[in-house]
Amino acid sequence: MKQFQDEDALVKAIAGRVLPRSRGKLRLGIGDDAALWKPKPGFVSILTSDWFLEGSHFLREKHPPDSVGWKCLARAASDIAAMGGMPRCFLLNLAIPVDATGKWLDGFLGGLRRAARSLDCVLAGGDTTRSKRVLISVIVIGEIREGQEVLRSGGSPGDLLYVSGTLGQAEHGLRLLRKTQRRIKGENDALRKHLYPQPRVALGRWLAERKLATAMMDVSDGLSSDLPRLCTASGVGAVIDPGKLPLLRGIGSDSARELALHGGDDYELLFTVSRRNAARIPAMFRRLRLRRIGELTRGRNVQMSSKNGTRQPLPVSGWDPFR
């Protein structure tokens, strides 16, 4: 892709590359002052926005540009999945250096287009400008039938705590990436999960439609950072059984446990289910493992159980940009 002479040309190129042929769901997309959007009758809109910044969230020299395009949309869409909703359209605020408007932008838009198609989520607008580093702010608009939304605040003491997939896998992928000298594509599962995470939209929707999850959120900063947020919102504590954590295989069990507790970027769903509904939660949802890892408790402490029956506080050490 050539470099751009002005902003209008850049916007036109983005629209041309990312927009799928069908955009019937949007009343009005790119090219006006703003976009128009209306959820289906009986549905409400879900709004979320995420940063994805060069240097903080990705490295231009290490992360393939199509991973940056995929991931910036996928991780924002994960917040919609965490409410039980369906992503519908998105706005892209993109600030790039002129030297990234050629080949890098081409790769980025390719990854973004793949994510948009995979999620059935249409580009509706945004803003472009120039900057020294690549700055991305993605806004996803989703929808959910009124009353089906699953909040972080709905958990009660005694509810069982579940998580999807494998925890710590993306963090392991990031460590592999850091060790390499060059930019690589996803060559194994962990690296693929770090570069091309899959928001758990189908699972979130399934749990929401059946009203099985009492509280839900996605694990983005790491279990030890995110679980306390769910607990605070629900006014409860939690105890997790470290022996039940869905660990990554093929690495030492201590490392795997450390990664599962504190590793970020997995975008798995963490959800709670009342005891009477526990039998309705399958061990596998499609090809995704669902694992019961603990339960909510009275009080406000987040703890780990140990084999001798004692409980220890769970230290918070997931990802925090201000720590």
Binding residues (CB under 8 A) for a second copy: these are 4-8, 10, 27-28, 31-39, 44-51, 53, 55-57, 79-80, 82-83, 85, 89, 91, 93, 95, 98, 101, 124-131, 135, 137, 139, 141-142, 144, 146, 149, 151-153, 217-218, 229, 233, 320-323
Residue pair 281/162 in contact by the 8 Å Cβ criterion = yes
Measured from the CB atom, the residue of 36 and 278 that comes closer to a second copy is 36
Q: How far is the CB of 246 from a second copy (least distance, A)?
A: 21
Residue 74 is given by DSSP the state H
d(CA 2, CA 106): 9
d(CA 117, CA 210): 26
Q: How far is the CB of 1 from a second copy (least distance, A)?
A: 14
Measured from the CB atom, the residue of 89 and 261 that comes closer to a second copy is 89
Measured from the CB atom, the residue of 5 and 22 that comes closer to a second copy is 5
Q: How far is the CB of 258 from a second copy (least distance, A)?
A: 20
Answer positive or negative: Cα dihedral of 221, 224, 225, 226: positive
Query: Interhelix angle for 103-119 vs 7-18, to 10°?
Result: 40
Alpha-carbon distances, residue 36 vs 11, 20, 45, 73, 91 (angstroms): 18, 17, 12, 20, 12
Measured from the CB atom, the residue of 74 and 141 that comes closer to a second copy is 141
Measured from the CB atom, the residue of 37 and 190 that comes closer to a second copy is 37
Q: Which residues pair with 219 in a beta bridge?
A: 268
Q: Which residues pair with 272 in a beta bridge?
A: 161, 215
Q: How far is the CB of 140 from a second copy (least distance, A)?
A: 8
Measured from the CB atom, the residue of 83 and 170 that comes closer to a second copy is 83
Q: How far is the CB of 34 from a second copy (least distance, A)?
A: 4
**In this structure, how many other beta carbons lie within 10 angstroms of the beta carbon of residue 306?**
12
d(CA 310, CA 293): 16
**In this structure, how many other beta carbons lie within 10 angstroms of the beta carbon of residue 170?**
29
Q: How far is the CB of 184 from a second copy (least distance, A)?
A: 25
d(CA 286, CA 296): 26
Q: How far is the CB of 191 from a second copy (least distance, A)?
A: 24
Measured from the CB atom, the residue of 67 and 101 that comes closer to a second copy is 101
Q: How far is the CB of 167 from a second copy (least distance, A)?
A: 18
243 is written with which tokens? Answer: 């022996």
Angle made by CA atoms 27, 50, 141, in degrees to the nearest 5 = 25
Measured from the CB atom, the residue of 8 and 187 that comes closer to a second copy is 8
Measured from the CB atom, the residue of 130 and 300 that comes closer to a second copy is 130
Q: How far is the CB of 20 from a second copy (least distance, A)?
A: 18
Q: Which residues pair with 95 in a beta bridge?
A: 129, 135
Longest dimension (CA), the chain: 68
Q: Which residues pair with 108 in a beta bridge?
A: none
